[in-house]
Amino acid sequence: MEQNSPERPRHQEERKLIERAQAGDQAAFGVLFKTYYDRVYRTTYGILDDENEAKEATQRTWIKAWEHLERFNHRAAFTTWLHRITVNTAIDETRRKNRYWNRIKIAFSSPLADNGETESSPIPPDTDTPAEALLRQDVNQNLRNALGQLPLDQREVFTLREFEGLSYEAIAETLEIKPGTVMSRLHLARKKLQTLLNKESR
């Protein structure tokens, strides 16, 4: 009971902010924006592995959140609702980028890498999870390269679990899949990452 008591005022305050924002209060929405901007950015960056694309996807996420905020009904946590928009926006950006590269391939009739290997993106600041600390170490480029080789469904699960620290249930709700599927994809992602990183270290 004592551990849960600090959460209740914050939850109630957030609910009031959301209700004010739903009524058109842009200042209230601005508070939500400032509170969760970094979390949204970390998620888009983890999926897209590109600073500029992550920033653009983050901006689009918040635009969508504002435009559809009236649909939020408080049945799920606001962060879960926001994460779902974030992941979908990042996936849309990935698909758009893939379509672009496919057109380039056809135009020049030569294979091109579509995994962003030509440029290394700086790691977003103010990270504090073990996975993000690892990204700041000497092996960060190898890890980014390995993450870029994961299938999208595995990469998004890995990002939400290791970068955002979401529970299996929260990830399942965000991606609208079963918790067992989350566990399976996460297991495959970790196994493939280990294999790829072992190759890089040789």
Lowest mean pLDDT among 93-97, 139-143, 182-186, 194-198: 139-143
CA 21, CA 66: separation in Å to the nearest integer? 8
Reply yes or no on whether the pLDDT at 105 is more than 70: no
pLDDT band at 1 (very low <50, low <70, confident <90, very high): very low
Q: Are 53 and 93 in contact (CB under 8 A)?
A: yes
Task: Kindly state the average pLDDT of the residues 143-149.
Answer: 80
Both tokens of residue 33? 């924006």
Task: Kindly state the average pLDDT of the residues 97-108.
Answer: 43
Q: Cα 54 to chain center, whole Å?
A: 9
pLDDT score recorded for residue 18: 95
Q: Which of 122, 128, 125 is nearest to 141 (CA)?
A: 122
CA 115, CA 47: separation in Å to the nearest integer? 11
pLDDT band at 140 (very low <50, low <70, confident <90, very high): low
Q: Which of 8, 32, 9 is nearest to 19 (CA)?
A: 32
The tens digit of pLDDT for each residue in 33-53 reads 999 999 999 999 888 888 888
The tens digit of pLDDT for each residue in 119-137 reads 333 334 444 455 555 444 4
CA 145, CA 127: separation in Å to the nearest integer? 19
Q: Are 45 and 54 in contact (CB under 8 A)?
A: yes
